[in-house]
Structure 1
Amino acid sequence: MDTLYHQKRPLMSDEGLAAAVEAVAVDEYGDIRNGHVAAERALTLYLDKQELVTLMTLGTRPEMLVLGWLRNQRLVEDIEQIKAIQVDWETDSVAITTYQGVQGLKEKMARKTVTTGCGQGTVFGDLMDDLDKIELPRRSIRQSEIYRLLHTLNEHNQVYQRAGAVHGCALCSEEQIHLFIEDVGRHNAVDAIAGHMWLEGTDGSDKLFYTTGRLTSEMVIKVAQMGIPILLSRSGITQMGLELAKKVGVTLIARAKGRHFLVYNGAEQISFDAVPEVRPRSTGSRHASQSKSR
C-alpha cells in the first residue's frame, strides 16, 4: 500500500496564498506592460515559542513547507510528536507546537551548514548525520519514460510561465506526476513535497524526484531521506552532490531537457529503449558500453 495515514495528525491551518501578484513594467519600447511577478514572503518559524529561522517563500503551501523543513532538518523524528502548525500571515510567522518539546534543540541549532541552495539554504546539525543508515532500493527507469515525464512536466511550470523567478519540484512515478510545487527556491519546493509525503505516509521507493534546480549535496541528502532512488534535473550537478549520490545510491540524471540528458550515477539502472536516431557530433563522448570495454 502506497499511503498510510498517521493515527495522530498535527492540527494545521490552511493559509496558502497566491503565487504571483500583479505588477507593471515598461518594456524596451517605452510601453507600459501589465503582468505578474512571483510573490516572495518572509515566514518566521517558532518551535514551542523559540524562533528557529525565517524562510523566504511564495507561500502557496506554507504548512507543508514547514512540516518538510522540520523533517529534512532532522529536528523532529516522528510526525506524531507535532501537535499543531499554525500559519499567521498578519505576523508573517508560523507557530509549531510539539507535545513534549524537542530534545537537544539548542545543540542541533548550534551546528549549521550554509548550503548552495537559492537564497542560501541552511541545514542544522551535522550535514552527514545518518547517511550511512539510508538504504535506497534499486529502481530501473526507461529512457522513454524519462522523455514522457519531461514532456508532461513542461506543462506544470505554471508560476514560472506566468511570472518567472521560481524553481519547481515534482514527485513522480513512471509517467504520473503525483505532486508539483513551485517556490522561490528549490529547497523550499523539495521541503514542501517532503512534508506532504511525511503527512500522508507516502512511500518513496518507487518514486522519481524532479527539480528544475542544480543537484547539490543538500538536494541529494533530502531526496535520500525521503527514500527516493532517482533524482532528475534540467540543470547541472556539483561535485559533492555527485559524491553523495554515489555514497547513498541515488541515480543522478542531469541536464535533462528535450531528448538530452546526462546520467552521472546509476547508468546501469537506465534502459535505453528510445535512443535518438541522430547523434550530435562530439569528440568527448562514446557509448557507455565502449567505455566499459576499454
Structure 2
Amino acid sequence: MKPIKEVNILRIKGENINEEEDILVIEYPFTIFLNDKEIITLLCSPKSLKELTVGFLYSEGFIDKLDNIEKIFIDEEKGLAYVNVKEEKPLVEKLQGKRTITSGCGKGTLFYNVLDSFKSKKIEKPLDIKIEEIRDLMRKFNKNSELFLNTGGVHS
C-alpha cells in the first residue's frame, strides 16, 4: 500500500484560486496483537509497519529486546500485526490497562505505568541545548523524510 494518494484540490493564494493535483498522506488504523491479545490500534501511515510495531512494543515496555520476539506477522491489507513473544511480563500485563491519553491532535495513548519509573534516570549535569541546534535537527529530520518533502505533513 502506498503511503500517499493524489487528489484534486483548490489551492487558494491571495485572490487566486487554482484547481490542481496535490499529494496527501494516507493514514489508516493499524492494530497490534501480542500473543493473541489486542494491545492497541494506532493511526499511522502504511509504511515501515514492522519497525513501528517493534518500536511501539519496546517503547511501551512490552519487550526489553528483539530476542523476546518469537514471531511477527504483518497483514498490511487488513492493518494488523500479530506478535508472539517468548514470555509476557506479568507486571506489564496487569498494568497495561492504565493508559495515559496525550494532548496531541489525535489523542495519543501511552501505556504509562510503574515500570516507567524504574527506567527513568535523573540528569546530573545541566542540559544545555541551543534553540538553533533543535531547529537544525528538525530541518535535517524533515529533509530526510521523503514523505514530508512530498506532502508537507507527516507524524514521525
| 1:128/1:52 CA distance change after superposition, 3 Å | closer
1:66 aligned residue (53, 57, 69): 53
1:115 aligned residue (102, 108, 131): 102
1:156 aligned residue (133, 144, 147): 144
Bigger shift: residues 31-40 or 148-157: 148-157
Does residue 93 of structure 1 match 2:86? Answer: no
CA distance in 2, matches of 1:46, 1:24: 37
Contact 1:46/1:95, CA 8 A, preserved across alignment: yes
Q: Which residue of 1 aligns with 2:26?
A: 39
CA RMSD in angstroms comes to: 3.1
Q: For structure 1, which runs of at least 5 residues remain unmatched after alignment?
A: 1-16, 167-182, 184-188, 190-294
* Cα distance per residue 1:205-250 (max 9 Å; x no partner): xxxxxxxxxxxxxxxxxxxxxxxxxxxxxxxxxxxxxxxxxxxxxx
Percent identity over the alignment is 19
CA distance in 2, matches of 1:102, 1:150: 36
| 1:150/1:80 CA distance change after superposition, 3 Å | closer
CA distance in 1, matches of 2:141, 2:93: 40
Corresponding letter in the other structure for 1:35: D
2:6 aligned residue (22, 26, 30): 22
Provide TM-score, normalisation by structure 2: 0.76
How many residue pairs get matched? 152
Provide TM-score, normalisation by structure 1: 0.44
CA distance in 2, matches of 1:163, 1:65: 20
Q: For structure 2, which runs of at least 5 residues remain unmatched after alignment?
A: none
Q: Which residue of 2 aligns with 1:205?
A: none
Deviation at 1:101, TM superposition (A): 3.5
Deviation at 1:130, TM superposition (A): 2.2
Contact 1:46/1:94, CA 8 A, preserved across alignment: yes
